[in-house]
Every structure is written in C-alpha cells, then in structure tokens.
C-alpha cells in the first residue's frame, strides 16, 4: 500500500488552515486582499505540485510594499480594517514562499490571527465552528511537523499514519475540560472585541434620535443585527418597526422635543403580538411594529406619541412582548397642538418655501394638498442612494431641485418640511423598514442596514397618518422577505446561541457545568465515534464555504437578472452605466433599444409589486445575452 507522505499532507493542511482563517474575514476585506488570497492559494498548490517556491528576495519586498501601501492611508479610525487586510495579505504571501517548519508555523499563526481579527467585526456560533476546525487541523499539523523536522521526505505506512492522526485528534478533545473551566470563568460579550476601534469614517446606518440631511456625503451600510421578533409572517408593506418620533427642530436638524400634553392616541384594529429579542445597545428605545399599542415584560415609559423607552439602556440581553396595530392612523381625542407641529427651522431655502406656499394657497383640503405633494415628488424623479449625497448649506434644496439624489432622511425631511409650510402638521418617525423572515425559527431578523425614516401627517378627523415618501424614489430596493437555504439555519443557530450561551449569567453558567459534569460521568462513547466526528468536522468545512457564497447570492430571480443586465450594460457602455441611477433613467440616457425593452418588461412587473412571469423572465435573459454579444 502507498505510504503517507508527511510533506504532502502538511501542505494540504496548511492550505485548509489558511482558508479557515480567511473565510470569516472575507466579507470585511478590501478588494485587494479579498481577491489576492484565493489567487495566492491556488498558486501555492501549483508551486507545491511542481516542487518550487517563490524566493524570499521577491516576497520580502512585496510584503514591505503592501505594508507601505496600507500605511499611507492609515488612521486610528481604520485600525481594524487595515489590520485585517494586512494579516490576509501577509498570509497570502507566506503561502507562496519556502516550506520549512518555521514557515509552516508562521502560516498557522497568521491564520489564527486572521480568525481572531474577524471577531473584531462579529461574534457568532459560526466563529466557534471555524475556531474548532482550525484548532483541530493545527493540532494534527503540529504533530506532523515533529516528523517533518526530523526528515522532510519521511513517509509513514498506512497503519502508522492512522495512529498519528488518531493521537492528533485526541489532543484537542483532551482540552475540553479546560474549555469548560474557561466557559465559567471568562465573561462573554455580544459586542465584537475591541469594537470601539472599528469607527469607520463617515456616517453609518442605524437608529438615531437626530436627523440632519447634508452632514455626510455618504452613508456606510452596517449589517449587524438589531432585533429578532418572534411573530407570524406579515405582508411586506406592514414591516415598519417604530422606534422614535422626531417632532421639532434644533437648528436645521430634526430632533425629539418634549411632547405636548395631549390625550393618548386611540388605535383601532386587530392586534399583532411580537416576542422581541433586541441586541445589546446604548439606546433605550423599544422597537416594535408600527404602531405600538403596549409593551410588557420590561420596565418602561410610554409617551403619548406611541414611543416606548426602557428605564435603562438596553446594554444587556433582554426580551419583551409588544402588541401593535398595523396600518391604521393614530387618532387623538381632543386634537393636537397644531402650532407645535407646524414650527419651521429658522431658515428655509426659497424654492422650498415657494412650493409649500403654493400648495397652501391652492384652496384645497389637506388630503388634496398631500396628493399634489406626492405628485411633485414623483415628477422630480429622485433617485434613492446612500452615496454622493447632497451636502452644503442647503442640502434639501439641492436634493429636491438639483442633484435629485438622496436617502430616506432626505425624502422624509423634505416632505415633512413641505407639509408644515403647506399648513399640515407633520413629524418624522425613526425605526427600521423590512425584515428577513426565518421559517425555521419563526421570527423576523431586522438588521442595521434596514434603518429608515418616514413621516406622519395629521389630518383632522383621521389622526396621524403614516406616509413613506421614500417609496416614490427611483431605484428604491425592496427588502428580502424570507431567509433561504443554509443562511436560515445559520441565523437560527446564532439566535439560539445568543439565548443559551451569550446571555448566560454566572449562576446559569455554573448550573450548566454541573449538569454537564453529572451527565459526563455516565457518558459512553460508541465505537467509531472519534472517526465519525472527524469525518463530520471535515464535511462542515465545504458547507461553511458554500454558506458564505449563498449569503452573497441575490435573493430572487428578479434581482439576479437585473444585476446581470447592469453588468452587461457596463461592459457595453464603459464609464456610462454606473448602476447608481434608476432603471428607467439609465435606459433613457443610454437610448439603447434593448435596455429600454428590459426596463419596460422589468418595471411593468417588479415596480407594480408582482413577480416576473416565466415568459417575461425568459425574454429578459435573452436581452442580457444580446447585450453581451453585440456592441452599441
């Protein structure tokens, strides 16, 4: 029988260990390290097969050049991203070099540092899986390195190889008692380690009690979880999660001022119950579906504008039960303080004042004025975007009349301001829009990138009516309605991980260890358990890689075909098709008959809230093929 070559097995294990260090960090990397690593890994396997390696006189200057490249743009705010990028780049360079015991150890250490760097962004049950796999493979590799140090060309007989591998696997298993002790003694946090260092420059998505359009030219989307709400599946247009009401101005910013003394609102309609598990934060606002009727299970205060706040920051794991009434106005018996909700900032652009006064002078009732204002927004053909936002002394004026580009803060602020100028009381509501439904766990996952601002307008005899002016934008993306495939199971595991492990206090930890100890005394491992466990762990590695790929894949066939068309358009019209504008705006500017037809078919279905029919999807795919094949 063929002997087991130690060096060949070490090379394979080194590649797997490096991949385990890279994968959890990959979503947060810059393009250079993100693509350089897989190319380097494939190059390393090729060099190993041919028995060659790149010389140190080439790799050392390359490492120095990469370090200097990132050092030029270094700042304290970018300490975490730069550290992760450099670790991956150094690991990729190390794989291409000489393969000796010292160099193997350097690659293992860099892989472990890369995995540790991913904890600066997120800590989840998947991190634990990567860590266990990496430690297992490193234990096997370290044992093999002892043979390699004696003779790099050594080869073991099959029975000897099995014994070596069995001993290597037993090493991390023997460390389990130490892990249990550390589980009791060491504190755990829902926050990524050293989270305060990851202060990305610019503005980030998320709930805020201050809205000031124009204070940043771009907004960085943060994907972290905000809450999980156990409830039944709901229509997508009902997924507004109410947090805070901004009812006045401080300077040119919308803020929350003391609420006028009014009677509590009356909410009519069927109630929806939610069991909500918020992530830890310094905020005290209790989120629930719009609009919230009541909250129980947590000490809180309630304002008469349906805003609920905890009496202490949500800096620990909690849960509460919320009851909401969806899609109905908030009636206020006895009316509201109209003067308060008609206040304007000290200065407003002339064009905004003129438009609002034009509506006020039209002699129409508030509903008609609101319809005219909606028509005005639609006719302006404003693009929804989080980059290249209007800034300067008059950002709302630029948003409405010049640049015509902005996010929900611009839409809501300008619409509510115009309502007030037109004599209609208004206020902003901050929260989240959308949610990913997990069929396995029966809950909605709401993430920071779903942060949203909308408007409430007061109509006599009706009450506070919800209006979302962002829905009138070009290119406004719809939220995915359900988790699919492996990502659904991963998030459910993460959810129960948080409930069962991260949120444990010391008493629960000790109780868990006592129960585990009592059961361990009666534990008997079946024959072949270790071999089966090793096979299962090795099987999980490609599944984890497949899960990461699936998470980045577009959620629906409509999103996939649109993305394919935009890629084809960029190749067909280099520099003219950025993908940042609306679909109809792109087709009109390029004046391409294929793109015009694509926009007509796609918009006739998706923008009217229905899925593409089979024949429509087939025609769109055919258009994409034609765009790829023919020049303009």
DSSP code per residue over 19-58: HHHHGGGGGGS-HHHHHHHHHHHHHHHHHHHHT----HHH
Q: How far is CA 261 from the centre of its chain?
A: 39
Residue whose token pair is 């899986």: 129
> In this structure, are residues 88 and 29 in contact, taking their beta carbons and an 8 Å threshold?
yes
Say how far apart CA 22 and CA 85 lie, in whole Å: 10
Is the model's pTM score more than 0.85? no
Longest CA–CA span in the chain (Å) reads 96
pLDDT at 321: 95
| 3-state class (DSSP) for residue 449 | helix
Burial letters for 506-532: b for 16+ Cβ neighbours within 10 Å, e otherwise? Answer: eeebeebeeeeeeeeeeeeeeeeeeee
Say how far apart CA 314 and CA 277 lie, in whole Å: 11
Residue whose token pair is 């839409």: 411
pLDDT at 52: 87
pLDDT at 199: 39
pLDDT at 516: 52
> In this structure, are residues 598 and 623 in contact, taking their beta carbons and an 8 Å threshold?
yes
Say how far apart CA 29 and CA 81 lie, in whole Å: 7
Q: How far is CA 349 from the centre of its chain?
A: 36
> In this structure, are residues 257 and 220 in contact, taking their beta carbons and an 8 Å threshold?
no
Q: Across the strands, what pairs with 451?
A: 432
pLDDT at 632: 58
Beta strand residue intervals within 451-504, DSSP E: 451-459, 463-467
pLDDT at 506: 46
Tokens of 514: 């006592």
Cβ-based neighbour number of residue 584 at 10 Å: 18
Say how far apart CA 191 and CA 123 lie, in whole Å: 7
pLDDT at 148: 83
Of 187, 219, 214, 188, the C-alpha closest to 202 is 219
pLDDT at 132: 84
Give the H/E segment covering residue 493.
helix 485-497
| 3-state class (DSSP) for residue 630 | coil
Using only the alpha carbons of the chain, give its radius of gyration.
29
Say how far apart CA 20 and CA 417 lie, in whole Å: 52
Q: Across the strands, what pairs with 384?
A: 406
Successive 10-residue mean pLDDT values, the chain, 632 residues: 79 93 90 93 90 89 90 76 91 91 92 88 74 88 86 82 79 69 53 42 68 86 86 93 95 93 85 93 92 93 94 87 93 92 94 93 90 95 92 93 94 97 96 91 91 96 95 70 62 68 49 55 58 72 70 71 87 74 81 88 84 90 86 60
């Amino acid at each position: 029988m063929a002997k087991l070559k130690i060096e060949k097995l070490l090379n394979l294990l080194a590649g797997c260990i490096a991949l385990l260090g890279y994968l959890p960090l990959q979503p947060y990397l810059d393009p250079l390290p993100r693509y350089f690593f897989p190319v380097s890994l494939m190059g390393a396997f090729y060099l190993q097969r041919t028995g060659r390696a790149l010389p140190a006189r080439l790799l050392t200057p390359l490492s120095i050049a990469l370090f200097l490249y990132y050092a030029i743009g270094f700042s304290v705010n970018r300490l975490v991203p730069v550290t992760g990028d450099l670790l991956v780049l150094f690991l990729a360079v190390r794989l291409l070099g000489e393969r000796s015991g010292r160099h193997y150890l350097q690659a293992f250490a860099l892989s472990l540092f890369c995995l540790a760097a991913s904890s600066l962004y997120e800590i989840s049950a998947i991190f634990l899986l990567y860590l266990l796999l990496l430690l297992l493979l490193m234990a096997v590799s370290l044992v093999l390195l002892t043979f390699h140090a004696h003779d790099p060309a050594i080869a073991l007989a099959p029975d000897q190889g099995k014994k070596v591998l069995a001993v290597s696997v037993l090493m991390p298993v023997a460390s389990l008692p130490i892990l249990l002790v550390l589980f009791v003694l060491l504190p755990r946090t829902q926050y990524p380690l050293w989270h305060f260092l990851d202060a990305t420059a610019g503005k980030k998505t998320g709930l805020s009690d201050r809205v000031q359009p124009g204070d940043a030219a771009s907004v960085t989307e943060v994907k972290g979880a905000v809450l999980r709400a156990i409830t039944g599946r709901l229509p997508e247009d009902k997924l507004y999660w109410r947090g805070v009401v901004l009812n006045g101005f401080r300077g040119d910013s919308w803020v929350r001022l003391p609420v006028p003394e009014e009677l509590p609102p009356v909410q009519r309609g069927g109630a929806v119950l939610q069991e909500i598990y918020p992530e830890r934060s310094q905020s005290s606002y209790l989120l629930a579906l719009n609009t919230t009727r009541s909250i129980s299970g947590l000490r809180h205060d309630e304002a008469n504008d349906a805003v609920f706040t905890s009496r202490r920051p949500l800096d620990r794991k909690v849960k509460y039960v919320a009851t909401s009434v969806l899609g109905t106005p908030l009636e206020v018996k006895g009316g509201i303080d109209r003067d308060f909700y008609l206040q304007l900032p000290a200065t407003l652009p002339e064009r905004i004042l003129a438009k609002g006064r034009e509506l006020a002078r039209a002699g129409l009732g508030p509903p008609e004025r609101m319809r005219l204002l909606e028509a005005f927004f639609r006719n302006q053909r404003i693009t929804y975007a989080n980059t290249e936002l209007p800034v300067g002394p008059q950002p709302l004026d630029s948003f409405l009349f010049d640049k015509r580009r902005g996010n929900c803060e611009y839409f809501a602020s300008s619409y509510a301001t115009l309502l007030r100028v037109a004599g209609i009381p208004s206020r902003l509501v901050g929260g989240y829009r959308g949610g990913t439904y997990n069929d396995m766990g029966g809950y909605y996952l709401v993430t920071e990138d779903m942060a949203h601002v909308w408007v409430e307008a007061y109509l006599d005899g009706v009450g506070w009516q919800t209006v979302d002016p962002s829905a009138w934008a070009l290119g406004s993306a719809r939220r995915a309605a359900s988790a699919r495939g492996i990502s659904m199971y991963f998030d459910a595991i993460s959810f129960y991980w948080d409930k069962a492990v991260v949120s444990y206090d010391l008493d629960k930890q000790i109780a868990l260890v006592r129960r585990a100890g009592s059961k361990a005394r009666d534990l008997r491992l079946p024959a072949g358990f270790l071999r089966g466990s090793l096979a299962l762990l090795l099987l999980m590695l490609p599944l984890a890689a497949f899960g990461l790929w699936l998470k980045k894949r577009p959620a629906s066939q409509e999103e996939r075909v649109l993305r394919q068309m935009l890629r084809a358009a960029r190749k067909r019209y280099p520099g003219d098709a950025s993908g940042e504008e609306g679909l109809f705006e792109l087709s009109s500017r390029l004046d391409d008959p294929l793109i015009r037809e694509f926009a007509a078919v796609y918009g006739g279905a998706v923008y009217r809230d229905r899925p593409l029919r089979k024949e429509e999807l087939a025609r769109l795919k055919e258009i994409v093929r034609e765009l790829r094949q023919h020049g303009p």
